[in-house]
Structure 1
């Protein structure tokens, strides 16, 4: 595949007022050209409504993106990476130009929740946010909060009306949400934007006629998705699908197990067995069975509602349900409703496995089987929940998946089509790295061996020896070791305990390990870690900023090919024969990893590749990356 630009569509002159929208005192190398071209494509007199910015780390894409948001009438700035949202919030240059809405769990709850010292709340688990947990009582100056002993509940405090978070003026989450809804640019996570698409946009009104804040965001002029390269996989695995987990009653999951192929049950319960990929594909023959499951869910919900109604009635000899029991049952109803809607929306009688196939897998849980339903394609889901939220769209990343076309621009348009965007109205902007190759060399000429399959353990001793050699070469310098799994990281850390800190599986957030690695200790027992220059982790290939002395060298133990244990990966590689996609995704992760330690033109960080299979993905990396390979 060529990196050459075959065509460049003519664009009109840049729109007026661009300089006033630029958020920085001046432009870095390459920024002005990208900013003007993107703004002209989006806001000029032409056919484009989508811009893809394919530009390497260090160009300052967040500044470009913020400038485009400034120029728009209104904007969403979003990212699939929570860490990048935090970086935007803490950016001294840009943070005053937008309002950031964090997750509910990141906010301290209202004073009423905090007053109950025996309970620890945030705005996610606060009783105000939990359905029917919080009530105001006529003539009373306080509220009942879940966890209050029955003896403290005032007499006559039953049969009252629930109060929503949005009507509580002290709610920190809602104050932040109102600010974000009123701002020209709102920074939200990609997950939140999807959730918000299911909420109605209307004004909330209390009994006195006072209007509170609107419940959700209205659509906007511009939507910017930063670090957009991972959208396909993340949407398929985290948002577009649904599951029958262990919170779903056993009798419902049993009915599902009666419908699915027996090979999937065997796949989940026998470690040495792998079901054929065709058995994961939901066929037309399963649809009637899913219709019966929908009826079973409907009947189960009706039965639960009847239990609640009887318990609240004056009928004699009825079941006694506490308020907490009722809350639990109502949450179960909500979960069953979600499962019902998943079957009805995606696997109803209009389901076409040839046009839009869905995959089914089973996992062994602690209390029985868990069933997961996942689409192969995510274009329709994104059209309905994300792209519909704005008139114009910007997708930016240092690693745009552009490996499917004759050149990288046409490849990027093919990727846009897979996401549900129109390639004919998509304009692609590419830029090379402004950093000299001498500052970011990639050493791939002396690999330890092929790390696929059992290669890691087969070459384990040589891997340890090579890391020790590199640590001696870079003595006194911070080094980051990238692995493909926590088990690999922990095995290496056990052998390199004198040199390395390990980001282990029990701590999914790597921040604590990074702080220890950088000498920022909070406990006496961590002081010894400040003397260790290596950090080993499977989760730091992106979303981490390590300039200058924070990281001077890195090692990639294994090329991170997507797991063929994931039915969607296996289906795309083996059934759809998308070899370019499979190799290209691994290549882009290698590009992302190398960029963690080179953050500005004067920065330096060496990158060592120990896996000989890198040769199979090398051609899928952008030219500016290949130019640095030694």
Structure 2
């Protein structure tokens, strides 16, 4: 119980009727924190967004709210737009009103220096949104846009007093993704300037820097010529090539300035350049001298903070207990006999055992909706092709996730969402999801050169990442104290994994883990 007046009394949206347990404490901890950083480990369903928006309102500070996914960005906008929060996304999210041929603003004539009257008239959808964001007290965007805009764009969003890094467990990867340069070997521009295959694998970081610098100048000249063509009326094809050339030039500039702490991954289709660790680059790329910063997530921990280069002296960490009933959020390990440990040595026979277990769990739950997490597209394809319940299954591709999720939430039972990547940034409350089957502990791909380099420095790195994924996956359903869902894991690695790496998980998560030799009887669903 709290003496704090209801949220609406402070101008917060009416949908927030009252404060949840510990929200008042979390709000005042943010407000009264004297250090630059505060890290709050808040369990799923805690109501993190209301906490940090309330803290911003109480303090009267101009605030930037950063999210990891467009889905969560949309959710925040839906929750707080009525109180003046403004959402801003990359140029490719807005159609160009000048040419009206399907071109997005990232490939409009203005990229060639064409003066566009729509910008000044307020009819360019992108710059119209930028101006709204520049005037807003609360701005919502994603990590990629925030870092890209701050580094490359002329249209800044202004100064902020308070930064919120939501889904903070993923911030090290968000910073790394922003810094990573990827050259597609089949790209029409890239393939003409890449060294030969034999030379590629012999090049040092210094050689790559010299290569990038020499071709950066050549690409700049082509950009100048093509920009003139576009200004003289060149069409969509010219604008697309110009956009591609500018992208390549930006990548070459990054490569020519990369430090010796970077790693290079030469693959069959792409070549990637990335810093081994994001910590040295977080201030200049993400934090940008903002005075007060909140890192918040259900699974953020001290190791996460260290990866961001935040010092112990400049940060406090607070962990809040889960207030939802334990029996409503259990993670039950259902072992195989004989055991099936999911890894690269898993046999075809074991995969059949694995799929059979999935079907057995689903069989007793055909009166409700659930999610199967496969952790790879190959296993996803196996399930949707060979499951006895495939007629009830839906899945998604990389580009249509949000659309498929919304469709799944509207589907009548039995509906089963089979996903290789639904661990963070999505909510499935109440009857939208009453059970989850986690098919495998999601370890990063250790074939990746950057992952190898990190593991060489820190042997526990991949296990830390896997634990983050597991905790986040289990938090997708159960969004309130009266909500409930069954979580099952059928990877028999879970036993040793929790014993050895439970230190990377919050207490509220490890206390909810159980083992059952038999598949539990499904709870009855109350019909309203």
Alpha-carbon distance in 1 for matches of 2:293, 2:347: 42
Which of the numbers 184, 208, 225 marks the counterpart of 2:137? Answer: 184
Measured after TM superposition, the shift of residue 517 of structure 1 is: 3.5
| 1:534-564: CA deviation from partner (whole Å, max 9, x where unpaired) | 2211121222211111111111111001111
Which of the numbers 268, 284, 289 marks the counterpart of 1:364? Answer: 268
Q: Partner residue of 1:140? A: none
Alpha-carbon distance in 1 for matches of 2:327, 2:226: 71
> What are the equivalent positions in structure 2 for 1:388-467 lying under 5 Å apart?
388-400=288-300, 402=301, 412=302, 414-447=303-336, 449-455=340-346, 457-467=348-358
| 1:134-176: CA deviation from partner (whole Å, max 9, x where unpaired) | 5xxxxxxxxxxxxxxxxxxxxxxxxxxx326632421222222
Q: Does 1:628 align with 2:512?
A: yes
Measured after TM superposition, the shift of residue 87 of structure 1 is: 0.5
C-alpha distance 389-502 of structure 1, shift in aligned 2 (>3 A): farther
Q: Partner residue of 2:171? A: 231
Measured after TM superposition, the shift of residue 501 of structure 1 is: 4.7
C-alpha contact (below 8 Å) 1:54/1:431 kept by paired residues: yes
C-alpha contact (below 8 Å) 1:72/1:221 kept by paired residues: no
Which of the numbers 504, 509, 528 marks the counterpart of 2:400? Answer: 509
Measured after TM superposition, the shift of residue 305 of structure 1 is: 4.7
C-alpha distance 457-233 of structure 1, shift in aligned 2 (>3 A): farther
Q: Does 1:374 align with 2:274?
A: yes
C-alpha contact (below 8 Å) 1:81/1:189 kept by paired residues: yes
Which of the numbers 25, 49, 53 marks the counterpart of 1:33? Answer: 25
C-alpha distance 304-131 of structure 1, shift in aligned 2 (>3 A): closer
> What are the equivalent positions in structure 2 for 1:168-179 lying under 5 Å apart?
168-179=121-132
TM-score by length of 2: 0.85
Measured after TM superposition, the shift of residue 29 of structure 1 is: 0.8
Alpha-carbon distance in 2 for matches of 1:174, 1:293: 32
Which of the numbers 140, 149, 157 marks the counterpart of 1:196? Answer: 149
Specify the SS of the correspondent of 1:394: strand
* Rg larger for: 1
Q: Partner residue of 2:49? A: 62
Specify the SS of the correspondent of 2:513: coil
| 1:422-450: CA deviation from partner (whole Å, max 9, x where unpaired) | 32111111101111111112111524520
Alpha-carbon distance in 2 for matches of 1:327, 1:547: 44
Measured after TM superposition, the shift of residue 197 of structure 1 is: 1.0
Which of the numbers 53, 62, 74 marks the counterpart of 1:86? Answer: 74
C-alpha contact (below 8 Å) 1:69/1:75 kept by paired residues: yes
Alpha-carbon distance in 1 for matches of 2:450, 2:237: 39
Specify the SS of the correspondent of 2:267: strand
Q: Partner residue of 1:537? A: 419
Q: Where in structure 1 are there 5+ consecutive unaligned residues?
A: 1-13, 135-161, 202-214, 263-281, 313-319, 403-411, 521-529
Alpha-carbon distance in 2 for matches of 1:216, 1:628: 45
Q: Does 1:252 align with 2:196?
A: no
Measured after TM superposition, the shift of residue 72 of structure 1 is: 4.0
Alpha-carbon distance in 1 for matches of 2:354, 2:238: 57
Specify the SS of the correspondent of 2:195: helix
Q: Does 1:49 align with 2:36?
A: yes
Q: Partner residue of 2:518? A: none
Which of the numbers 158, 163, 172 marks the counterpart of 2:116? Answer: 163
| 1:3-47: CA deviation from partner (whole Å, max 9, x where unpaired) | xxxxxxxxxxx9xxxx84876553111111111112111xxxx3x
Q: Where in structure 2 are there 5+ consecutive unaligned residues?
A: 515-528
C-alpha contact (below 8 Å) 2:63/2:160 kept by paired residues: yes
Q: Partner residue of 2:428? A: 546
Specify the SS of the correspondent of 2:299: coil
> What are the equivalent positions in structure 2 for 1:91-240 lying under 5 Å apart?
91=79, 95-110=82-97, 112-114=98-100, 119-125=101-107, 127-132=108-113, 162-163=115-116, 166-199=119-152, 215-236=155-176, 238-240=177-179
CA-based RMSD of the aligned residues comes to: 3.1
Count of residue correspondences? 497
Measured after TM superposition, the shift of residue 293 of structure 1 is: 4.3
Mean Cα displacement is larger for which, 453-462 or 381-390? 453-462
C-alpha contact (below 8 Å) 1:500/1:534 kept by paired residues: no
Alpha-carbon distance in 2 for matches of 1:253, 1:164: 39
C-alpha distance 478-101 of structure 1, shift in aligned 2 (>3 A): same
C-alpha distance 531-393 of structure 1, shift in aligned 2 (>3 A): closer
Mean Cα displacement is larger for which, 377-386 or 452-461? 452-461
C-alpha contact (below 8 Å) 2:52/2:164 kept by paired residues: yes
Specify the SS of the correspondent of 1:235: helix
TM-score by length of 1: 0.72
Which of the numbers 229, 236, 247 marks the counterpart of 1:335? Answer: 247
| 1:108-152: CA deviation from partner (whole Å, max 9, x where unpaired) | 543x544xxxx2344445x355435x5xxxxxxxxxxxxxxxxxx
